[in-house]
Amino acid sequence: MLRRVVITGAGVISPVGNTLEKFWDSLKVGRSGVKRLTHFDTSEYSSKVAGTVEDFKPDEYFSSKEIKRSDRFAQFALAASKMALVHSGIELDKMDRDRAGVLIGSGIGGIATMGEQHATFIERGQRRISPFAIPMLIINMASGIVAMSFGLKGPNTAVSTACATGSHAIGDAYRIIERDEADAMLAGGSEAALTDFGFGAFCAMRALTTSRNDEPERASRPFDRLRDGFVMSEGAGVIVLEEMEHARTRGANILGEIIGYGMSADAYHITAPSPDGEGAARAMRAGLKSARLAPEAISYINAHGTSTPLNDKLETDAVKAVFGDHARKLAISSTKSHMGHLLGAAGGVEAIATLFAMQESVVPPTINYEEPDPECDLDYVPNVAREMNVEYAMSNSFGFGGTNATLVFKRYQ
């Protein structure tokens, strides 16, 4: 018999806050964390705005030696994991750590380390490459460092499915606990790809917004008619998942229950979604089937909503295909409007936003929604948060390579 899985803790490092309180307050009041990018000279770049993490202090989590041996994306992952564990109130010394694991992914991993070490190789030769270069840049090192830091000896793995990474990580961790292979998992995503090369590569794809370089707070505008690309961002979102009785026995404060997980492939194009959003629609249907829910049970969707012309239209088409007439009764918002696109971390951060919306009965708005698009004609909770009861909610993540993930959550009672 499959076991029930609940969420008992959350941790977030983001452009709108590095504490849960600041993060959630920013979403509720519609505060943007997008700024002019100053990490490097952007004068030759078409886009000049990003969602950067401010005031992050790695020395609060690592020794100076450890900082030199870990990439920024792994540092974000550890910080969010520590926050999630504290938030959960779990006492590691009182649990079987052989039954607690980690599944944290990244879309790109240690690209900063790769760039720095490649420059060293070109300028100074092979002998000057750091012996820590490979451990620092590989994607599974975020999970590895977190497991080592807290002595978690259960399942330890990682996923890398572009912008669907965080949602796939949470869904896969949910299945691990559901199958009785662990009692608790830290799961989510982390990303720190705002390097001159990483940012430049997305500019070269013409994926990033270019029309609001002088108004960064207005740059990310999902579902708005004037959207022209996404805002590249960094950060991490990690949650604590537990088997329900494991959580109840220790008197945990339960944030919500995960009851469904759907996946699909577009099998269509390396970057563009499949026509009419049919791949996204199949992921949503799979999530509903897994949750054993009728579409009408869902009242809120935290959309993938990237602020790109094609994605937002096709996600809208997919929602209509899955929900039929009920699509117009749904509250749909994209929290990427506040903080940009955290790539592999997006699913983790957006799962946390969805859980808070359910727990507090407040749906965060889609900010910068100024000019309706006739092709995106659903209720995107424009600009102002909405108080509403949310019993069941869905969070969508879609990635390059045509990979799709849908998570379905239930308010815990």
pLDDT tens figures, 204-255: 999 999 999 999 999 999 999 999 999 999 999 999 999 999 999 999 999 9
pLDDT at 365 over 90: yes
What is the percent of the chain where pLDDT is above 90?
A: 98
Average pLDDT of the residues in 94-104? 97
CATH 3.40.47.10 fits 260-410, yes or no: yes
Fold (topology level) of 5-249: Peroxisomal Thiolase; Chain A, domain 1 (3.40.47)
Say if residue 1's pLDDT is above 90.
Answer: no
Share of the chain above pLDDT 70, in %: 100
The pTM of this model reads 0.98
376 is catalytic: no
* CB-based contact 190:106 (threshold 8 Å): yes
Strands 156-157 and 100-105, how do they pair?
A: parallel
Amino acid at position 142, single letter? A
What was the pLDDT predicted at 413? Answer: 84
Q: Which amino acid is at 400?
A: F
In this structure, which amino acid lies at residue 225? R
- Token pair belonging to 282: 């199949």
Return the pLDDT at 394: 98
Mean pLDDT (the chain) is 97
165-175 residue pLDDT tens: 999 999 999 99
Is 90 exceeded by the pLDDT of residue 202? Answer: yes
Please give the Cα distance from 75 to 362 (Å, whole number).
31
Rounded to whole angstroms, the Cα distance separating 322 from 325 reads 9
pLDDT in tens, 254-298: 999 999 999 999 999 999 999 999 999 999 999 999 999 999 999
Mean pLDDT of 84-100: 96
What number is the average pLDDT over the span 143-163? 98
Please state, in angstroms and rounded to a whole number, the distance separating the CA atoms of residues 230 and 28: 21
Q: What is the pLDDT of residue 10?
A: 98
Contacts of 176 (CB under 8 A, 6+ apart): 101, 103, 155, 182, 185
CATH 3.40.47.10 in the chain, residue ranges: 5-249, 260-410
Q: Which of 50, 53, 137, 163 is catalytic?
A: 163
